């Protein structure tokens, strides 16, 4: 019921449509029972129908003062017309009328419930997407991309099914069952009361199946995620797969995941389809008992042939919604398994939110300061940064160097508040960035990374990236400043689609598009995270020129492995194992020796060897 209430909560914004659909589904049940009730009037209107004898007064009749004959007369159309008239034409007309009303109500209710389901899934997917986007970097580290997209697409689709189809079927079949049950109770309350004794058995059986199916549904969704993970990794990394000749290995791995998913789905099918045969056996036993009982009543004149036929038809019709309700309940368990995963995700809160008294951060005027900053992940005891103190003056270019794992990128992630310091604070012009509005902080920072993120869209939209307030002239000026305008025209112009992650562009071209995007943002603080480390010499030269235009007049923090690119830095900060080991200009650090000079000489010697090898190959 807890899960069902959550489902109804999703429907609440569409309460009026749902109420109308519920009314229409009530009509479906009532007119289905009405059509069945007409059968009694049809049969008893035929010639040679046995007369019904007076039966003893029952306890219910004594208590209510309403006789069984009176109740039965309510469902006999003939009782509303003179006995001399032939009621069959009217009964036939009512049969057509009831069918039209039932069919129209069923159609409209299904359309309304489908509309509600589609609206609910749009709201849910939007809510999920907005929730995911505002989460912190730790959240994306802990949750793979395919898991998150499965929540948005697959799990949300199961919720839509539960609203559009399952909830509609549950209400329609439930109301139909109740209407038919009321009919058979009026026809013979004694036998119907006996049937009620079977209800708890059917309920307990359905609950047991549902719980088992819910556990299997969780395994099914996990298996689906595993299949998606393997497919996404191998498709996106197809070049590595081919280069190492691992197609066969990946095919076997994918087949194993598919087989595991298939076996889980078969287990679910065993549970789903077992309930129907059990209910059918129970229904046939009840029908057999009724046949023997009805034979006795007809011989005694306590039941007419018409009532007998109506009762048996209504009983058979009751079986169909009961069977469907059992299967609907099983499918609901699968939907609830999906919805529980969605709500578990929505209950996860790692987002960096503004503090209650947060204020707008003014543009940088003086300096960025890191004061005794230490950082470690929440689930780790290892410190990534330890007591880091650093000042970056307005207009300076500060380079962060050191071996991999020294904490360089983490330092810039803290500045952008992807994470918050475990100890210490970061301030801009003396104001703690945690006390500033997050949007105002990030609006002042432009980021260019080695792993350029471009979107499957046109070049112009990637440069502007959602900013519709820029005109075409500003976009093209930014592209020229990034040395990207010429190759963009060669590629077919600014409207050219560049494919997933910019796959249709070279590495240097992608970098220059990213630089044009940063130039267009015109932020006062610039972070360059190894922006040229993966480029060839010619591409690097163009990118360096573009970066020079980008850095002009801005406060720049550069993370670089290639030390030859940072000679012009106003300050070079050498980091080692999460600490600041040294700082100064290039000449000062070289003269003092230590880690920086070791790194520089090691890299310089490697570059000399590489150039000699390249020259030898060209000579050959």
pTM over 0.75: no
DSSP class of residue 162 equals: I
Comparison of pLDDT for 434 and 562, the residue scoring more: 434
Which tops the pLDDT comparison, 82 or 228? 228
Lowest mean pLDDT among 387-391, 539-543, 570-574: 539-543
Question: Among 196-210, 228-242, 327-341, 601-615, which stretch is predicted with the lowest mean pLDDT?
Answer: 601-615
Residue 513 vs residue 270, higher pLDDT: 513
Distance of CA 238 to the CA centre of its chain: 26
* Band (60; pLDDT cuts 50, 70, 90): very low
Backbone angles phi and psi of 76, in degrees to 5:
-105, 110
Q: Which of 138-142, 329-333, 376-380, 410-414 has the lowest mean pLDDT?
A: 329-333
pLDDT at 55 over 60: no
Mean pLDDT calculated for residue range 58-70: 46
H-only helix segments in 347-415? 408-415
Q: Which residues pair with 458 in a beta bridge?
A: 497
Q: For all residues of the chain together, what is the average pLDDT? A: 78
Which is higher by pLDDT, 450 or 71? 450
Parts of the chain belonging to CATH 3.40.50.300: 364-444+569-620
- Residue range 186-203, pLDDT digits in tens: 777 777 776 677 667 666
- Structurally, at CATH architecture level, domain 364-444+569-620 sits in 3-Layer(aba) Sandwich (3.40)
What pLDDT band is residue 532 in, cutting at 50, 70 and 90?
A: low
Note the pLDDT of residue 372: 94
Which residues lie below 8 Å from residue 603, measured CB to CB, with a gap of 6+? 561, 562, 563, 564
Please report the DSSP string for 433-445 in residue order.
Answer: GGGB-HHHHHTTE
Q: How many residues in total does the chain contain? A: 620
Between 2-11, 171-180, 262-271, 380-389, the lowest mean confidence (pLDDT) is in 2-11
Task: Report the distance separating Cα 145 and Cα 232, nearest Å.
Answer: 10
Tens of pLDDT, residues 442-484: 888 888 887 788 888 888 888 888 666 678 888 888 888 888 8
For residue 36, which of 317, 320, 321, 305 has the smallest C-alpha distance? Answer: 317
User: pLDDT by residue (tens digit) across 290-300?
Assistant: 777 777 777 77
Max distance between CA atoms of the chain, in angstroms, equals: 123
Does residue 374 carry a pLDDT above 90?
yes
Name every residue whose Cβ is closer than 8 Å to that of residue 4 and which is 6 or more positions away in sequence. Answer: 332, 336
The token duo for 237 is 């990394």
Q: Looking at per-residue confidence, does 548 or 96 come out higher?
A: 96
Residue 89 has pLDDT above 80, yes or no: no
> Model confidence over 508-523: pLDDT tens digits?
888 888 888 888 888 8
Task: Identify the band that residue 424 occupies on the pLDDT scale cut at 50, 70 and 90.
Answer: very high
Architecture of domain 2-346: Up-down Bundle (1.20)
Q: In the chain, where does the domain assigned CATH 1.20.1560.10 lie?
A: 2-346
């Amino acid at each position: 019921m807890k899960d069902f209430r959550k489902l109804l909560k999703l429907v609440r914004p569409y309460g009026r449509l749902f109420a109308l659909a519920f009314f229409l589904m009530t009509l479906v049940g009532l007119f289905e029972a009405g059509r069945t009730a007409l059968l009694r009037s049809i049969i008893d209107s035929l010639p040679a129908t046995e007369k019904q004898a007076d039966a003893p007064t029952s306890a219910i009749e004594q208590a209510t003062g309403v006789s069984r004959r009176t109740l039965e007369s309510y469902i006999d159309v003939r009782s509303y017309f003179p006995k001399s008239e032939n009621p069959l034409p009217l009964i036939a007309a009512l049969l057509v009328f009831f069918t039209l009303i039932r069919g129209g109500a069923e159609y409209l209710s299904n359309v309304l419930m489908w509309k509600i389901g589609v609206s609910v899934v749009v709201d849910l997917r939007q809510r999920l997407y907005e929730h995911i986007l505002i989460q912190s970097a730790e959240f994306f580290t802990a949750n793979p991309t395919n898991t998150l997209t499965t929540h948005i697409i697959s799990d949300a689709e199961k919720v839509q099914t539960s609203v559009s189809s399952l909830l509609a079927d549950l209400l329609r079949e439930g109301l139909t069952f109740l209407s038919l049950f009321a009919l058979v109770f009026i026809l013979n309350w004694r036998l119907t009361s006996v049937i009620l004794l079977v209800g708890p058995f059917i309920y307990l059986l359905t609950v047991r199946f549902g719980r088992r199916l819910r556990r299997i549904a969780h395994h099914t969704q996990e298996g689906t995620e595993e299949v998606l993970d393997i497919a996404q990794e191998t498709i996106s990394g197809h070049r590595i797969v081919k280069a190492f000749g691992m197609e066969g290995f990946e095919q076997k791995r994918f087949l194993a995941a598919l087989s595991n998913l298939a076996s889980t789905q078969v287990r679910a099918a065993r549970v789903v389809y077992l309930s129907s045969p059990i209910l059918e056996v129970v229904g046939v036993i009840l029908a057999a008992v009724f046949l023997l009982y009805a034979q006795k009543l007809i011989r005694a004149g306590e039941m007419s042939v018409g009532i007998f036929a109506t009762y048996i038809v209504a009983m058979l019709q009751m079986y169909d919604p009961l069977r469907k309700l059992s299967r609907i309940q099983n499918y609901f368990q699968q939907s609830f398994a999906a919805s529980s995963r969605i709500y578990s995700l929505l209950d996860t809160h790692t987002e960096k939110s503004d503090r209650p008294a947060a204020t707008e951060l003014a543009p940088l005027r003086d300096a960025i300061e890191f004061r005794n900053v230490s950082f470690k992940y929440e689930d780790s005891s290892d410190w990534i940064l330890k007591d880091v103190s650093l000042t970056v003056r307005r207009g300076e270019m500060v380079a962060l160097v050191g071996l991999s794992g020294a904490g360089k990128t983490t330092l810039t992630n803290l500045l952008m508040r992807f994470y918050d310091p475990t100890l210490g604070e970061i301030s801009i012009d003396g104001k703690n960035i945690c006390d500033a509005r997050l949007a105002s902080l990030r609006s002042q920072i432009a980021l260019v990374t080695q792993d350029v993120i471009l979107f499957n869209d046109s070049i112009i939209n990637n440069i502007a990236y959602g900013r519709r307030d820029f005109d075409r002239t500003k976009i093209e000026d930014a592209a020229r400043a990034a040395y990207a305008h010429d190759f963009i025209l060669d590629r077919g112009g600014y409207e050219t689609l560049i494919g997933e992650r910019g796959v249709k562009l070279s590495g240097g071209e992608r970098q220059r598009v990213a630089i044009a995007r940063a130039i267009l943002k015109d932020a006062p603080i610039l972070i360059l995270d190894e922006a040229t480390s993966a480029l060839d010499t010619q591409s690097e030269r163009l990118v360096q020129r573009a970066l020079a235009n980008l850095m002009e007049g801005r406060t720049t923090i550069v993370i670089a492995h290639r030390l030859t690119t940072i000679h012009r830095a106003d300050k070079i900060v050498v980091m080692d194992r999460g600490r600041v080991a040294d700082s100064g200009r290039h000449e000062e650090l070289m003269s003092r020796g230590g880690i920086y000079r070791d790194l520089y000489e090691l890299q310089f010697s490697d570059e000399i060897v590489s150039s000699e090898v390249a020259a030898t190959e060209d000579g050959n």
